[in-house]
Structure 1
Amino acid sequence: MSVREHLEGIFREQEDLDLTSGGIVKPLFYLSIPLIITNVLQTAYNVVDTAWLGRYGTTEVAAISFAFPLIFLLISFAMGLSVAGSVLVAQYVGANREGEAEYAASQTVAFSMLASIAIGLAGYPFVDDVLRLFDAEPEIIAAAAEYLRIYALGLVFVFGFFMFISLMRGYGDTVTPMLIMFVTVVINVILDPLLIFGVGPFPEMGIAGASLATIFSRAITLAIGLWIMLRGHRGVRIRLSQMVPDPSYGLKLLRIGLPASFEGSSRALTITLLLFVVATFSEPVIAGYGIGTRVLSVIVLPAIALSQGVETMTGQNIGAGEVDRAAETNRIAGWTLFLVLTAAGLLTTLVAEPVVSIFTTDPAVVDVGSSFLYYVAPTFGLFGAMYAHLGGFRGVGMTMTAAGVVIVAFGLVQFPFAWYASSEWGPTGIWLSFAVSHFVGATVAIGLFRRGTWRSKGVAGVARRRGPPVDVDAESTVEGDSADDD
């Protein structure tokens, strides 16, 4: 069988996938496995940049470390708008309201591009001022600013690509974005050394070359994504006539999307704030913390991917009026992640020292990193159960609730606990803060889900959608949306 025939077979199976009837396990994992691969490929983007810049110079590697937190905040906002579009599209697809789904997708594309252009142009003049807040060496700040200025001007391509992935997910297609993400990584891998070092006809651009390679590869893949959506052959369809910005729809996207942005950024912000606590200890503790959180980030990938799959299935089932099926999807995903990640966590504690030794040969760092895993790894399953239910909240449109759970678990519990406990028990107090936050997050998320507020909200949304379909060519606003948060 040729590669083309194999890919066509994958696509045909994807099109036959029914998210609102039949079994739950197969469609849920069929959605989630490509999402895991997509997330891994996204991580590869950063690894490739760091690897090539590491060969170019130490200053450039340090500059990337300072640029990344700002980039992550921008990406979090992009992901928020994308989640809003994905939720609306999933609910309309589940309700068999293709016209509204197309309108939601078209408006999401329009507002994502407008927002990215506005943010990029507004942020461009202040790049240097923001970076100076880190109080790093001038040459590092200069290099980071060079990277970020190019990134700001090309932000529309970054936002646009995340928007494409989310809209495709809302329709239930996660294979196509995975393949296009792979193309993106390949282009970036090829362009990075050419532009950084100046190979052949290309000039030597250093860190600016890495930024330009990223933006160019995103632009190419966004063009492919827009072509796919304009044709409408892969589920998602956008129409130029429906991309005229509708202010009321823009407010709806912000109302759903901003809490999702807070959810994404607050977790990373907490990890960053914990550095202030960790920095009060010795260098081996700092290094061990870095390795421990890196291992944790690997565990986060399947949890977030399955959470996104739950989000899509919940949205489509709410739209179809299958509220009990949406609840069962969350229950299955929650238990699956809890059991699988708990087993993975317990296994990690048994091989903690060999795992940490992959990253370092320093016995002191190995000891600290292993200690981190002994306390944190057994609670991986709690983290997974929490994120599975957060996907359910997002699928209903309760993005504020999902964000609230994350803020409570990591902002109000983990950071204060780490600050106090570290003064009493040393680094062990920091490791315990992870375990405590995972327990609190899982307990709160599951407790809120079992209260059933999301169920009444979903039923109300379904009732509103049972009216006559809206002619989106004649009216600019789609009525009967259930994705407004409490």
Structure 2
Amino acid sequence: MQPNKISIKQFFKYFKIAVSGKEKDFTSGSIRRAVFMLSIPMILEMLMESIFAIVDIFYVSRVSVNAVATIGLTESVITLVYAVAIGLSMAATAIVARRIGEQDKDGASQAAVQVIGLGIVVASLISIIGILYPKEILQLMGGEPDLIAEGYGYTQILLEGNVTIMLLFLINAIFRGAGDASIAMWALIVSNGLNIILDPIFIFGIGPVPAYGVKGAAVATTIGRGTAVIFQLLILFYGWSKIKITFKDLVFRAAVMLNLIKVSLGGIFQFFIGTSSWVFLMRIMSEFGSEVLAGYTIAIRVMMFTLMPAWGMSNAAATLVGQNLGAKKPERAEDSVWKTGKFSAIFMGLVSVVYLILAPQIISWFTPEIEVIKNGALCLRVFASGYIFYGYGMVITNSFNGAGDTYTPTIINSFCYWLFQLPFAYLMAIYYDFGPIGVFIAITLAQVILTIVSIIWFKKGHWKSVNV
């Protein structure tokens, strides 16, 4: 009993250190401790990000089925923004982590400025499209006329304010690369806390604030994320993290920008492959009506909530790989990945059991509609059958990115998503008339294949020789 008590005390002691951000050196000492210290705040950060989606669905499901379906269609488009943001953030994490591992803090600060500037430019272009063509976007995605009339305001506001999504991703990636994962976590806590408070106010109307319906969810989310971005910028400029941006850093640096673009292009295309496949899958799902689409949307949101811890652990692996390669310790980098992958797979395996048993009850928390619950539960159970592969595969894939090797996962994604998942989903769901379950099976099988191929390629070790 005594050893267990000590272990519990140690857990809470290390947990406190992890969320406070006091641990700074991840290139020496226990690898398990390093994984824990980085993973805990990154897991909490990712949970905060996924709560955004859960909260929006929870409130909006009280408005209408069309409102939920609108969020699903819009989110499938906004994932293209995420593709750019995550692609740039992968480059930011890889380059900043490498500079920190090399003890080059000035180089890390210069990279941070260039990635923020590039993100603002890209977000501005996306905003213009969102302001001018929200109805056309929903129509292209297969939205019915009444859905478009009710929900286009949500699409317009979310795309118009996408700079808050972009910068929140990018600046948190900078913090993660520097090993300041706790700061990224607190930024999401600020953002999410505001969203939880503002969602019911703007959706249903309270006091002088009118009821905006589904449009109000976009207003609340944008305000919450925008506030967090201001919080992040204050930390960077006041030097409350490892990285401090000064006025002398606010200049265009061609060499740094070109290096950033070179690394990020692979990452952007990598996630564009994945997210564009989600867009096409959503388009296939829209063929089966709003009830099926709503069930699929709710299941995806629930699924994302428990994928975020695995994503957090994969971010920890990426930081450990980048910093240890910078410190000329490739074997320590590799060992970090295998340990993190094991922890992620165990966690996802436990979650899959819960989803397989309780899927209908979980979906019913978000909607009373019988058909929506039926389709959402089916989706969740099929996804859960491949959860262990999701957990391990995310860690391996992001480890390539942490090394700056963003092109290897791009090739693997191309094969698994475009050459297998999309054709298989269409054939099963439409051609062979299996319906929605054909799409669900295609998604799960694609992830299983991706994980197996990634592990085989990671063992070859080419990622250890990549320079960024």
TM-score, normalised with respect to structure 2 = 0.83
Q: Which moved more, 1:338-347 or 1:446-455?
A: 338-347
Residues 1:187 and 1:364: Cα distance change in structure 2 (over 3 Å):
closer
**Local SS of the residue matching 2:25:** coil
Please report how far the alpha carbon of residue 346 of structure 1 lies from its aligned counterpart in structure 2 after TM superposition.
5.2
State the SS of the aligned residue for 1:180. helix
* Alignment deviations for residues 164-191 of structure 1 (CA, whole Å, 9 cap, x no partner): 2111111112222222211212222223
Q: 1:447 to 1:116 in 2, by over 3 A?
A: same
Alignment counterpart, residue 385 of structure 1, candidates 392, 411, 417: 392
Contact 1:299–1:380 (8 Å) recurs in 2: no
The correspondence for 1:452, drawn from 439, 456, 461, is: 461
CA displacement 1:177-233 (0-9 Å, x = unmatched):
222211212222223333344433445544444333322222222111111111112
- From 88, 94, 101, the counterpart of 2:108: 101
Shift of 1:348: 4.8
Q: Does 1:433 align with 2:442?
A: yes
Number of positions where the alignment pairs a residue of Structure 1 with one of Structure 2:
454
SS at 1:15's partner residue?
coil
Structure 1 residues 380 and 199: CA distance shift in structure 2, 3 A: closer
Paired amino acid for 1:102:
S
Q: In the alignment, which residue of structure 1 is the partner of 2:249?
A: 242
CA distance change for structure 1 residues 148 and 434 in 2, over 3 Å: closer, same or farther?
closer
Which moved further from structure 2: 446-455 or 197-206? 197-206
| C-alpha RMSD over aligned residues | 3.5
Aligned equivalents of 1:315 and 1:32: distance in 2?
15
Tell me, yes or no, if the aligned pair for 1:110 and 1:244 is still in contact at 8 Å.
Answer: no
Comparing 108-117 with 98-107, greater Cα deviation is found at 108-117
Alignment counterpart, residue 316 of structure 1, candidates 310, 313, 323: 323
Name the CA distance, whole Å, in 2 between partners of 1:258 and 1:187.
Answer: 33
Letter in 2 for 1:121: I
- Give the partner amino acid of 2:453: V
Q: CA deviation at 1:453?
A: 1.0
Q: Which residue of 2 aligns with 1:303?
A: 310
The whole-number CA distance in structure 1 between the counterparts of 2:457 and 2:379 is 30
Rg larger in structure:
1
Change beyond 3 A, Cα 1:285–1:172: same
Offset at residue 80 of structure 1 (A): 1.8
1:336–1:150: structure 2 CA closer, same or farther, 3 Å change rule?
Answer: closer
Aligned equivalent of 2:139: 132
CA distance in 2, matches of 1:357, 1:193: 20
Output the CA distance in 2 between the equivalents of 1:29 and 1:149.
40
User: Which range moves more in the overlay, 175-184 or 370-379?
Assistant: 370-379
Report if aligned partners of 1:311, 1:391 keep a CA contact under 8 Å in 2: yes
**% identical aligned pairs:** 27
Partner of 1:86: 93
In structure 2, what is the Cα distance between the partners aligned to 1:128 and 1:313?
A: 44
Q: Aligned runs of 1:160-179 on 2, under 5 Å?
A: 160-179=167-186
Q: Residue 228 of structure 1 corresponds to which residue in structure 2?
A: 235
| Residue 421 (structure 2) aligned to one of 405, 411, 414 | 414
Matching residue within 37, 45, 55 for 1:30: 37
Q: Partners in 1 of 2:362 and 2:392 — Cα distance? A: 24
Out of 355-364 and 109-118, give the one that drifted further. 355-364
Q: Secondary structure at the match of 1:235?
A: coil
Deviation at 1:323, TM superposition (A): 0.6
* Aligned counterparts of 1:365 and 1:147: Cα–Cα separation in 2: 22
Pairwise CA distance, 1:50? 3.6
Q: Distance in 2 between matches of 1:231 and 1:84?
A: 24
Contact 2:266 2:406 in 1 (8 A): yes
Matches within 5 A, 1:54-453: 54-56=61-63, 60-121=67-128, 123-138=130-145, 140-275=147-282, 293=300, 296-345=303-352, 348-349=355-356, 376-421=383-428, 426=434, 430-453=439-462
Structure 1 counterpart SS, 2:27: coil
User: 5+ residue gaps in structure 1?
Assistant: 1-5, 458-481
Which is further off, 364-373 or 125-134? 364-373
Which amino acid letter does the alignment assign opposite residue 25 of structure 1? Answer: R
1:231–1:382 distance in 2 versus 1, CA, 3 Å: same
Deviation at 1:341, TM superposition (A): 2.8
- Partners of 1:245 and 1:128 lie apart in 2 by 37
String of CA shifts for 1:32-91, please: whole Å, max 9, x gaps.
222222222222223333444444566544433332222222232122222211211010
Instruction: Name the CA distance, whole Å, in 2 between partners of 1:56 and 1:436.
Output: 34
Distance 1:392 1:229, change over 3 A: same
Residue aligned with 2:384, SS? helix
Larger mean CA deviation between 304-313 and 263-272 belongs to 263-272
Moved more, 248-257 or 160-169: 248-257
Contact 2:87–2:267 (8 Å) recurs in 1: yes
Residues 90 and 312 in structure 1, CA contact (< 8 A), matched pair in contact too = yes
**After alignment, is 354-363 or 34-43 more displaced?**
354-363
Q: Could you say which residue in structure 2 is the equivalent of 1:39?
A: 46
1:157 Cα deviation (Å)? 2.7
Question: In structure 1, the residue corresponding to 2:133 is in which secondary structure?
Answer: helix
Instruction: Mark the CA change 1:124 to 1:76 in structure 2 (over 3 Å): closer, same or farther.
Output: same
Corresponding letter in the other structure for 1:149: Q
Cα shift at 1:371: 6.4
Residues 432-459 of structure 1, C-alpha deviations (whole Å, 9 max, x = no match): 43443233111210111111111232xx
User: Is the Cα–Cα contact under 8 Å of residues 67 and 144 in structure 1 kept in the other structure?
Assistant: no
Distance 1:350 1:62 in 2: 26
> Structure 2: any 5+ residue segments left out of the alignment?
1-12
> What is the TM-score normalised by the length of structure 1?
0.81
Q: Quick check: 55-64 or 442-451, which moved more?
A: 55-64
Structure 2 counterpart of 1:440, one-letter code: I
